[in-house]
Amino acid sequence: MSNSKNNPRYNVVSLRVTDEEKAVIDLATRRTRKSISRLMREAIQMYIPHLEVSINKR
């Protein structure tokens, strides 16, 4: 887990989801014991495989 002091996150991204999509997200957070933010970051990294590499190159 990263330290927020060493890796601050200032940007906010929001999206609208249906009740059904929110229910799936809530279920995933309970089952994985991860925050919605963490799940979304992981989903983005899975969707865009080169993302982690490009972030680390900065």
Question: pLDDT band for position 55 (50/70/90)?
Answer: low
Whether 30 shows a pLDDT value over 90: the answer reads yes
The percent of residues above 90 in pLDDT, for the chain, comes to 59
pTM above 0.85, yes or no: no
Average pLDDT over residues 28-43: 95
Supply the DSSP string of the chain, one letter for each residue.
Answer: ---TTTS-----------HHHHHHHHHHHHHHT--HHHHHHHHHHHHSTTHHHHHHT-
Question: pLDDT band for position 37 (50/70/90)?
Answer: very high
Q: What is the pLDDT of residue 54?
A: 60
Q: What is the pLDDT of residue 8?
A: 87
Please state the domain extents for the chain: 1-58
